[in-house]
A = this chain, B = another copy of it.
Amino acid sequence: MNSEELARQLRVRVDQALERWLPPARTCPERLHTAIRYAVMGGGKRLRPLLAYASAAWLGLPPERVDAIAVALEIVHAYSLVHDDLPALDDDPLRRGRPSTHVAFGEAIAILVGDALQAHAYLVLATDSTLNASPVARCQLVRDLATASGSSGMAGGQAMDMEAAGRPVDAAQAEFICGLKTGRLLEAAILMPCRLRPGIEPQWLEAAQRFGRAYGLAFQLADDLRDMDAPAEVSGKAPGGDQRQGKATLLSLLGPQATRARVRTLQLEARDALASWGPEADLLRWLCATTLG
């Protein structure tokens, strides 16, 4: 099976796992659960789950072992989008071509959707039996997710991003912010499946970290390039949001040409991290080749 077909199947797979793991819309509190499903099940690239499945393939683990990791990562990503779209943050009325959660359900529910989703991600990691992980590994997964999404990861990056708006920031700072805001969770998607192989040799962890770090940063830069002038009907978001808010992205500092060059360098770095591996790393390589365009 080629990587494109495999990725398509894995997207279906994670959607089915999310379907199983999210609270049913008909259970109380119904409006919150309906909004939770709206926020999570509304499409999206499912990039973090795909990275987790690709990492599992590289490690020789079957996909069912990482369903819970894929679900937890996507749930955390979804909560962050719901909160980032709020008027007080990025004020984005559109997400994935539909009204953002706060537009569809009101701000109060949107805040609570994010809060409940975050708790749910940890519940999944601590509970899911298909993960077939030792309690030690589960604790490490909780640590990985909390570190990647907390004040020294995603939430911290978003806070620095808000502060940097309208202020002078240099390229190193912009890259640092970008690494926290998006990079850490993408890195975690590669690293977390490694926890399911107890006694894994250090070169795997190093490769996972090198690949994850380079890919994570490259992805955010490539995403900024795509957003720059994509019309809403293509991106599913209101166009030029970062420029509108005067955010100092690496793109606004370096310009499109130098940003594209930086993406290429990082892409080579990510590929290089996997140089010692064979076809088992092909899905990771394919993601690296197709999602940074």
Binding site for B on A (CB under 8 A): 23, 28-29, 31-33, 36, 79-80, 83, 86, 88-89, 106-112, 114-116, 118-120, 122-123, 125-127, 134-136, 138-140, 142-143, 145-147, 149-153, 155-160, 162-163
Q: Contacts A111-B111, A138-B139 given; indicate if A146 touches B122 (C-beta within 8 A).
A: yes
Whole-angstrom distance between the Cβ of A148 and the nearest chain B Cβ: 9
Please, how many angstroms separate the alpha-carbon atoms of A243 and B47 in the complex?
Answer: 45
Please, how many angstroms separate the alpha-carbon atoms of A40 and B261 in the complex?
Answer: 44
Minimum CB distance partner of A165 in chain B = B108
Please, how many angstroms separate the alpha-carbon atoms of A123 and B140 in the complex?
Answer: 10
User: Considering residues A89, A115, A126, which has the most beta carbons from chain B within 10 angstroms of its beta carbon?
Assistant: A115
Whole-angstrom distance between the Cβ of A154 and the nearest chain B Cβ: 8
Do the beta carbons of A159 and B88 come within 8 Å of each other?
Answer: no
Whole-angstrom distance between the Cβ of A62 and the nearest chain B Cβ: 22
Whole-angstrom distance between the Cβ of A126 and the nearest chain B Cβ: 4
Minimum CB distance partner of A110 in chain B = B88
Do the beta carbons of A29 and B125 come within 8 Å of each other?
Answer: no
Say which residue of B139, B150, B152, B163 sits within 8 Å of A139 (CB atoms): B139
Residue contacts A-B, CB under 8 angstroms, 11 given? A32-B151, A33-B151, A83-B115, A88-B107, A115-B115, A115-B155, A116-B156, A122-B145, A125-B142, A126-B140, A139-B139
Please, how many angstroms separate the alpha-carbon atoms of A107 and B86 in the complex?
Answer: 10
Ranked 6 nearest A-B pairs via Cβ? A135-B135, A119-B150, A88-B107, A123-B146, A32-B159, A116-B151
Whole-angstrom distance between the Cβ of A173 and the nearest chain B Cβ: 10
Given contacts A29-B160, A116-B150, 18 further A-B contacts (CB under 8 A): A23-B151, A29-B157, A32-B155, A32-B156, A32-B160, A83-B115, A89-B111, A112-B159, A115-B155, A119-B145, A119-B146, A119-B153, A119-B155, A120-B146, A122-B145, A123-B146, A125-B142, A135-B139
Please give, as numbers and ranges, the residues of chain B lying within 8 Å of A86 by CB-CB distance.
111
Say which residue of B143, B145, B155 sits within 8 Å of A127 (CB atoms): B143
